[in-house]
């Protein structure tokens, strides 16, 4: 029987719960209630998945490598409320008090740390459950030992789900997003190419390299959109692709979840 690693996107969970309490007029009370709800959510998740290992992962403060490569990355995104930002250390403290390790690494987004943990676990025959609503993690679902779970919708996603959602395979998603762009993170695609057109392109040629090596095989309309966009596509693919080789410096044994110590 495979061992299980529960990887929780800390900010994804907290920010959605905090937003749901926007009617709370007292900032301190809003933080207190969010923290209570978050701890309760972690309790439900650990009971549901009964993991051998578990970790809550947070983004680091400041810019990451993606900002240095592409300064417009996430430009215009609504910033986190200062009161919530200041309270994050207390959230992590509460999670650790309830026997859940927390991880943050300067200069790295949580997504890259989570992807690295999941891939490393898969290499050791451990099944990872990534708890997040972030679509970016679906690119990892090509690995049968990696699954994604949306805590709020109570839905799980696997390799078989991806084609029905996007029209391409999980391993093709970074090429697909390079064509259509990622508006959430302000990553550009090719102007005029939407999801349907991108799927049609990838059905003919499965990768950006093959697409641009065979431009003449497309209609004049598609060629006119694609021409001159190769370098931009390569950059966008680099930005949307999750890093899976981050030197985190954490051993799996340090993420062991103590089942006898329930939240």
The pLDDT assigned to 41 comes to 98
CA-wise closest residue to 3 among 126, 145, 130: 126
pLDDT digits (tens, 9 = 90+) for 157-202: 999 999 999 999 999 999 999 999 999 999 999 999 999 999 999 9
What would the pLDDT profile of 188-247 be if each residue is shown by its tens digit? 999 999 999 999 999 999 999 999 999 999 999 999 999 999 999 999 999 999 999 999
Q: Which two tokens stand for residue 215?
A: 């431009």
pLDDT of residue 76: 81
Is 261 exposed, middle or buried, given 0-12, 13-18 or 19+ CB atoms closer than 10 A? exposed
Q: Would you call 109 helix, strand, or coil by DSSP?
A: coil
Average pLDDT, the chain: 95
User: What mean pLDDT is predicted for residues 136-165?
Assistant: 97
- Given a contact cutoff of 8 angstroms between Cβ atoms, the answer to whether 67 and 20 are in contact is no
> Whole-prediction pTM value?
0.94
Domains of the chain: 3-159 (3.40.50.1010), 166-240 (1.10.150.20)
Q: Is 70 helix (H, G, I), strand (E, B) or coil?
A: coil
pLDDT tier, 261 (very low <50, low <70, confident <90, very high otherwise): very low
């Amino acid at each position: 029987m495979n061992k299980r690693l529960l990887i929780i996107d800390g900010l994804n969970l907290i920010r959605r719960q905090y937003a749901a309490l926007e009617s709370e007029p007292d900032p301190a009370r809003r933080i207190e209630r969010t923290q209570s709800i978050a701890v309760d959510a972690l309790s439900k998740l650990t009971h549901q998945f009964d993991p051998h290992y578990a970790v809550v992962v947070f983004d680091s403060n400041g810019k990451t490598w993606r900002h240095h490569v592409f300064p417009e990355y996430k430009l215009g995104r609504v910033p986190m409320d200062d009161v919530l930002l200041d309270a994050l250390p207390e959230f992590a403290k509460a999670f650790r008090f309830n026997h859940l390790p927390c991880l943050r690494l300067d200069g790295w987004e949580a997504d890259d740390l989570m992807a690295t943990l999941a891939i490393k676990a898969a290499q050791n025959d451990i099944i990872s459950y990534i708890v997040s609503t972030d679509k970016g993690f679906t690119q990892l679902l090509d690995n049968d030992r990696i699954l994604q779970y949306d805590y709020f919708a109570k839905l799980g996603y696997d390799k078989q789900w991806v084609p029905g959602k996007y029209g391409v395979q999980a391993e093709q998603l970074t090429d697909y997003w390079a064509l259509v762009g990622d508006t959430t993170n302000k990553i550009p695609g090719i102007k005029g190419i939407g999801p349907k057109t991108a799927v049609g392109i990838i059905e003919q040629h499965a990768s950006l390299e093959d697409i641009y090596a065979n431009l003449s095989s497309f209609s004049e309309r598609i060629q006119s959109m694609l021409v001159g966009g190769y370098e931009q596509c390569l950059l966008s693919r680099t930005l949307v692709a999750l890093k899976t080789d981050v030197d985190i410096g954490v051993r799996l044994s340090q993420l062991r979840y103590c089942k006898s110590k329930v939240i």
